[in-house]
Amino acid sequence: MMIKHLLSIDQLSTDQIDLILKTADSFGEVGTRTIKKVPALRGRTVCNLFFEPSTRTRLSFELAAKRLSADVITFTADSRTSVSKGESFKDTALTLQAMGLDAIVVRHTSGGAPKRLSQWVDASVLNAGDGANEHPTQALLDLYTIRRRFGGIEGLRIGIVGDIAHSRVARSNIKAMTKMGAQVTAIGPPTLLPVTAGSWGIDITTDLDALLPKLDIVYLLRVQKERQVEQFFPSLREYSLFWGLDRRRVDLMKPEALIMHPGPINRGVEVAGDLPEMERFIVADQVSNGIAVRASLMYLMLGGSQELPAPEHS
Amino acid sequence: MARILFKGGRLIDPASGVDTTSDVLVAKGKVVEVGTGLSSVEAETIDITGAVICPGFVDLHAHLREPGREDEETVASGSAAAARGGFTALGAMPNTDPVCDNAAVADKVSAAARRAGLCEVIPAGALTKGLEGRYITPVGEMVMCSAGVRMFTDDGKGVQDSRILRRAMEYIKGFDAICAEHCDDAALSEGGQMHEGYYSDLLGLKGIPAAAEDIALARDLVLARLTGVRFHALHVSTRGSVELIRQAKAQGVRVTAEVTPHHLILTDAQLQSFDPVNKVHPPLRAASDVEACRIGLADGTLDAIATDHAPHSPEEKEYEFELAPPGMIGLETALALMITEIVEGGVLGLTELVRRMSTLPAGILRLNGQGGPVTEGTAANLTVFDPAAEWVVDPNSFASKSRNTPFKGRKVKGKILHTVFGGDLVVRSGAIAAEYEAAVSAATAMAGGPR
């Protein structure tokens, strides 16, 4: 059985994650066809509800839904505008409820918004990132990407580098990766490592150089420039000096180790300007896999367990 | 005025050290006779065998929202909620719109309370004009006005500027009033949504460290000692605060402190629901803080139980977590929660609970006729409750205009049966007495329509 809403990685069993990733393989194949579309969700309506600016996640969900032949509508708003108009989040939810949607993909600056939304609507709610809480589909597409590259996830050593404290990508990925048996270490400035993260079943360190030779995957997080303004670290230069990935640090890595990043990349901060072009920097993989994984999820959550439709024509 | 004889109840009167079965006869606004085997032909006789009769509760800390947000609460509806909770007096916090930073607003609140006639309302005055932390309010005028303001605070926020706070304390001391603080170092708590700790890390919500409260309280205690003002710490919520107050008391600083039912019962684990009904300032803390508050209450470090009743409209609590305002209501659940958790949990005995909810807070505010003693000739402000009656918290049954309680659906023990205010039965068998109900609805309707 698949879940009704995807709000947090906590909801998924390892079997469910396996099923999502396995099904994503089929949708990856659909994406290579000339006609990249199957009728699995024909006549169903998916609403992209974005209360925070996003390009890649919104487009990825939109493409995924379209590959399944769903109708897609997009609603972008600023939650503060709703409040100033006197409308509560629940009012927005009830408006959407009245539209008879099948799925709502929601991105919000405020943590917990998808969870609250799921209590007010009949549609399936997919969390596309809520505050610093979770970004479960990012974690699933990352698992998928890792599995395609390494054949499995169990036993891999993964270092997540950067602003763990404010990162929903980190929270979802730490849950997902540890659940699938990877050994995860969080690395970053002491101010950006949650004090209690030691209880998450991961290791924590500030010393990137010491860890690099042991890692199979270096997962870089985007470092927002405002963190420096808020004095989480003294300067961007200091950040790069200790936690930025450059050629010297790449040379410390195992030859087969890979570099991942949820995007958008902050060149010159968490990663030296010329690195993203390297073969082992597999951001493009993550992006294209994202469509397949999100299609897989929507298919499993909305379409049930029916046979995956064959190509419309060969 | 009514003549009422309460027969067969257990009289708990901490002020006179009485805890025994005793009848209480009330007439003309006063307690006329206390003893066994009383009878009176003219009096309405109410058999309260098995129930407790005690001085009415006194809440040091409630938000009545009038003037400004009458859609959330009015002085009349808040008074009704208080009466149903067994309170016969409460301190109304000044963060209204306009702010209660002058005698005119204080008198308006006080007059509205007298019209409602359900309990005594003593407005607290703002410490600084507009709660902006810059200029001291006309303390003297507010103390002398008919509202009789006796506590000054910028509750909702702390005074950040130590120089201003020091001056305010010195000035307030001159009028023998109380300086009360919402202890918060705003630079540390800015943008915070919940207690900083395991759950804020887990949920990714911005934390408010316990240090924000501890640091502000430590400074306040230093200034209280320097100025000699009577200082009151509002809604103490951290282990560090309890320890600081314990030390200050041992050193002879004139400090009193209150703690809320929610800080004695709930932890930050509640926040996992992302339901803003659990959002409150100071935030629900870690289990170790709750434990420290319980110990502090038991050993007397924390003097009084206060509700911090903070009504909010349903739509505001249906905003996204970060946009929803902090606060929860508490007048109608305080006694039951305290019996269920604090008495049954072995923190305080029932007699001591009455002292912390009535006698002690009445003493802090120096209210005549409140908090007992329940003896011949004293003002008849009394509460009768059944300590064993069980009920389930249903916000829709509240007299308060708001519904924002995190205790909805909780099974509790201890029910208010009757409340006597100024000699009149304002709550009869758990409900607002008929003759007051119409007045409350009228006053509430008068106070303002939709926002």
Does A113 contact B321 at a Cβ distance shorter than 8 Å?
yes
Q: Which of B425, B417, B424, B423 is nearest to B53 (CA)?
A: B417
Average pLDDT over residues B30-51: 96
Q: Which residues of A touch B211 (CB under 8 A)?
A: none
pLDDT at residue B1 in the model: 62
Q: Are B230 and B317 in the same domain?
A: yes
Residue type, A160: I
Q: Alpha carbon B146 to chain centroid distance?
A: 22
Q: Is residue B449 part of a domain?
A: no
Q: Are B316 and B184 in the same domain?
A: yes
Average pLDDT over residues B317-338: 96
Query: How, if at all, do strands B178-181 and B194-195 pair?
Result: unpaired
pLDDT in tens, A177-207: 999 999 999 999 999 999 899 899 999 999 9
CATH number for the domain harbouring residue B48:
2.30.40.10
Residue ranges of chain A that CATH labels 3.40.50.1370:
9-135+287-302, 136-285
As beta bridge partners, residue B52 has B10, B385
Quick check: B450 pLDDT over 70?
no
- Residue B91 phi/psi, 5-degree rounding, is -95, 125
Q: Are B30 and B104 in the same domain?
A: no
CATH number for the domain harbouring residue B75:
3.20.20.140
pLDDT at residue B448 in the model: 58
Q: Is residue B251 part of a domain?
A: yes
Q: Are B165 and B239 in the same domain?
A: yes
Structure tokens at A146: 């890792």
Does B319 contact A80 at a Cβ distance shorter than 8 Å?
no
Among the partner residues A113, A134, A167, nearest to B320 by beta-carbon distance: A113
As beta bridge partners, residue A219 has A160, A260
Of the three residues B311, B331, B365, the one that is the final residue of a domain is B365
A130: closest chain B residue by CA? B204
The neighbour count for residue A199, using CB atoms within 10 Å, is 11
**Going by C-beta distance under 8 Å and a sequence separation of 6 or more, which residues neighbour residue A210?**
none
Among the partner residues A110, A171, A194, nearest to B322 by beta-carbon distance: A110
Say which of B23, B101, B308, B386 is annotated catalytic: B308
pLDDT at residue A83 in the model: 67
| Separation between Cα atoms, residue B219 and residue A309, nearest integer Å | 69
A131: closest chain B residue by CA? B204
Q: Are A294 and A70 in contact (CB under 8 A)?
A: no
Q: Are B203 and B101 in the same domain?
A: yes
Band the pLDDT of A48: cuts 50, 70, 90: very high
Band the pLDDT of A225: cuts 50, 70, 90: confident
Q: Please state the domain count of chain B.
A: 2
pLDDT in tens, B45-55: 999 999 999 99
Q: Are B51 and B419 in contact (CB under 8 A)?
A: no
In angstroms, what CA-CA distances link A107 with A58, A74, A79, B207? 9, 12, 11, 22
pLDDT in tens, A283-307: 999 999 999 999 999 999 998 545 5
The neighbour count for residue A62, using CB atoms within 10 Å, is 19
pLDDT at residue B264 in the model: 98
Q: Which residues of A touch B206 (CB under 8 A)?
A: 132
Among the partner residues B315, B318, B321, nearest to A112 by beta-carbon distance: B321
ipTM of model: 0.92
pLDDT in tens, B184-208: 999 999 999 999 999 999 999 999 9
Query: Could you give the strand order of the β-sheet that contains A45-50, starting from the edge strand earlier in sequence?
Result: A71-76, A45-50, A103-108, A124-130
SS3 B418: strand
Q: Is residue B451 part of a domain?
A: no
Does A79 contact B275 at a Cβ distance shorter than 8 Å?
no
CA distance A89 to chain B (A): 5
pLDDT in tens, B246-299: 999 999 999 999 999 999 999 999 999 999 999 999 999 999 999 999 999 999
Q: Are B8 and B105 in the same domain?
A: no
Q: Are B382 and B234 in the same domain?
A: no
pLDDT at residue A226 in the model: 83
**A residues 167..206 contacting B (CB < 8 A):** 167-168, 171, 194-197, 199-200
pLDDT at residue B439 in the model: 76
| Separation between Cα atoms, residue B222 and residue B159, nearest integer Å | 14
Band the pLDDT of B352: cuts 50, 70, 90: very high
Does B319 contact A133 at a Cβ distance shorter than 8 Å?
no
Q: Is residue B426 part of a domain?
A: yes
**Going by C-beta distance under 8 Å and a sequence separation of 6 or more, which residues neighbour residue A33?**
A311
Average pLDDT over residues B340-348: 98
Domain A9-135+287-302 class in CATH: alpha beta
Q: Is residue B144 part of a domain?
A: yes
Beta strands per DSSP E along B247-378 = 255-259, 304-305
Quick check: B397 pLDDT over 60?
yes
Question: Is B176 a catalytic site residue?
Answer: no
pLDDT in tens, B64-114: 999 999 999 999 999 999 999 999 999 999 999 999 999 999 999 999 999
pLDDT at residue A78 in the model: 81
pLDDT at residue A1 in the model: 65
SS3 B338: helix
- Mutate: best of B188, B193, B195, B201, partner A, most A CBs <10 A: B201
- Residue B220 phi/psi, 5-degree rounding, is -60, -40
Of the three residues B336, B365, B394, the one that is the final residue of a domain is B365
Q: Is residue B450 part of a domain?
A: no
Among the partner residues B198, B204, B323, nearest to A83 by beta-carbon distance: B323
Q: Which of B174, B123, B132 is nearest to B157 (CA)?
A: B132
| Separation between Cα atoms, residue B263 and residue B397, nearest integer Å | 24
pLDDT at residue A309 in the model: 55
- DSSP one-letter code for A232: S
Quick check: A314 pLDDT over 50?
no
Quick check: A79 pLDDT over 90?
no
Average pLDDT over residues B54-65: 98
Q: Is residue B227 part of a domain?
A: yes
Q: Are B199 and B308 in the same domain?
A: yes
Q: Are B383 and B6 in contact (CB under 8 A)?
A: no
Percent of chain A residues topping a pLDDT of 90? 80
Q: Are B352 and B388 in the same domain?
A: no
Q: Are B161 and B243 in the same domain?
A: yes
SS3 B54: strand
Average pLDDT over residues A154-176: 97
CA atoms within 13 A on the CB side of B211: 7
Q: Are B47 and B99 in the same domain?
A: no
Band the pLDDT of A77: cuts 50, 70, 90: confident
For A99-104, the CB contacts below 8 A with 24+ separation are A99/A45, A99/A47, A100/A45, A101/A45, A101/A46, A101/A47, A102/A41, A102/A44, A102/A45, A102/A46, A102/A70, A102/A302, A103/A44, A103/A45, A103/A46, A103/A47, A103/A65, A103/A70, A103/A298, A103/A301, A103/A302, A104/A46, A104/A47, A104/A49
Q: Is residue B182 part of a domain?
A: yes
Q: Are B244 and B220 in contact (CB under 8 A)?
A: no
Percent of chain B residues topping a pLDDT of 70? 98
Span A136-285: which CATH code? 3.40.50.1370
- DSSP one-letter code for B97: S
Provide the domain limits for residue B138. 56-365
A115: closest chain B residue by CA? B274
Q: Are B91 and B212 in the same domain?
A: yes
pLDDT in tens, B122-161: 999 999 999 999 999 999 999 999 999 999 999 999 999 9
